[in-house]
Amino acid sequence: MLSVHTSPLHQPGTGDAGGMNVYIVELARRLADLGIEVEIFTRATTGGLPPAVDLAPGVLVRHVDAGPYEGLAKEDLPAQLCAFTHGVMQAWAGHRPGYYDLVHSHYWLSGHVGWLAAERWGVPLVHAMHTMAKVKNAALAEGDTPEPAARVIGETQIVRAADRLIANTAEEGDELVRHYEADPRKVAVVHPGVNLDRFRPLGSTPSGEAAAQDQPRNPGHTPGTGLTAARTAARARLGLPQDALIPLFAGRIQPLKAPDILLRAVAVLLAEEPELRSRVVVPVVGGPSGTGMAKPEGLQKLAARLGIADVVRFRPPVGQDRLADWYRAASVLVMPSYSESFGLVAIEAQACGTPVLAAAVGGLPVAVRDGETGFLVEGHDPADYARMLRRFVPEPGAADPAGTLVARMGAAAARHAQSFGWDTAAARTADVYQAAMQERRRLRSAHAAHGHG
């Protein structure tokens, strides 16, 4: 596997580390469980890193020296691809011929290294875009910087070179065909997964039984009661009020993810219902990233300008277990993104029993069942988000302090998330690998036979 611009060992939610990091780590682990050994090549971003680190049994992370360790923006990485490729080839030279069976590259920068490596080694290239320049540029946030033409050209070349393209959703597969003229036969749809052992309502049984307690199987049993207890406990652990509306933003702080839309929506809500101010807490968990780096304090200043600095709580990125607690504590996760290839955060939150309010973009309509596990909003008008947030305001004295809608949708969300386990994603990815290798063998045989004739 190739992950040039972000290391699977980095903390998601800051810099360029996000859902893709989680994706690579979890997928590699589960592929190793299936007996597929994985080596992940990534760029060294600090000095003194060991050349190779065991991430898990059967998963090795290799650090490649390419460019300065720190202070190198993602936009400057294309100039380092030659050095990175050299590092990959050096590692390969130390192995017997035929050591690597297949290359799986993540994001366009890795795709260029993968293209060369796969060709050099005579193995298939499987590529996952994760995001696409043409799709991002078609839905830019106001004031955000468009992706450069060099990336568009690079992505087009990779689409042509790859043996297989993995898309997170059917819509992403269609975009590959529409925007990049991908051969539909090369495109395989594999939904990303979620770690159901980590992201679950606390008190539930790991992996597979997360929502069982919320099924109304016994007379007198109320759906969502287990979730209510989990939410109450999480709020206590995080020092959050029990009877508050808590809309959570979790992720990288950049215009693409649109955390400002949540703040503007809360300002609209409080302007219309000022009595709610004492019962609203808005946690923003994450660090500046991408074009958001230019104004790292921008969101704090916006909260002050909107007059809601007293209800917003900024928190740095946290580890996965702590993040699960933030999900459990929230009334609703808010994802007003302008573009999302899938929206892993939406599945993680739902697995914890929390509904999602999201923009109807990219893979989010697959991740969220509109009206059942959350709500999808067309466009980015803060007033539309405010109107939806109002539905999650708990009634004073309600059985569930977070509100009955939260309890009902949260139970449905936890059930829905069960179909997104990483084991399923890994098995389907392994099928894609198998198909790519079989086709490569078939073409080689046909070529040899033709040459012989």
151 labelled binding-site residue: yes
Answer yes or no: is 224 a known binding residue.
no
What would the 3-class secondary structure string for the chain be?
CEECCCCCCCCCCECCECHHHHHHHHHHHHHHHCCCCEEEEEECCCCCCCCEEEEECCEEEEEECCCCCCCCCHHHHHHHHHHHHHHHHHHHHCCCCCCCCCEEEEHHHHHHHHHHHHHHHCCCEEEECCCCHHHHHHCCCCCCCCCCHHHHHHHHHHHHHCCEEEECCHHHHHHHHHHHCCCHHHEEECCCCECCCCCCCCCCECCCECCHHHCCCCCCCCCCHHHHHHHHHHHHHHCCCCCCECEEEECCECHHHCHHHHHHHHHHHHHHCHHHHHHECEEEECCECHHHHHCCCHHHHHHHHCCCCCCEEEECCCCHHHHHHHHHHCCEEEECCCCCCCCHHHHHHHHCCCCEEEECCCCHHHHCCECCCEEEECCCCHHHHHHHHHHCCCCCCCCCCCCHHHHHHHHHHHHHHHHHEHHHHHHHHHHHHHHHHHHHHHHHHHHHHHHHC
Report whether 107 belongs to an annotated binding site.
Answer: yes
Ligand-binding site membership of 327 (annotated): yes
257 annotated binding-site participant:
yes
330 is in an annotated binding site: yes
User: Would you say 134 is a known binding-site residue?
Assistant: no
143 known ligand binder: no
- 16 among annotated binding-site residues: yes
Say if residue 74 carries a ligand binding annotation: yes
- Does the annotation flag 5 for ligand binding? yes
20 annotated ligand binder: yes
Q: Is 45 annotated as a binding residue?
A: no
Answer yes or no: is 201 a known binding residue: no
Residues within the annotated binding site for Mg(2+)?
Answer: 327-328, 330, 354
Residues within the annotated binding site?
Answer: 5, 11-12, 16-21, 74, 107, 131, 151, 252, 257, 318, 327-328, 330, 340, 348, 354
Residues within the annotated binding site for 1D-myo-inositol 3-phosphate?
Answer: 5, 16-21, 74, 107, 131, 151
Residues within the annotated binding site for UDP-N-acetyl-alpha-D-glucosamine?
Answer: 11-12, 19, 252, 257, 318, 340, 348
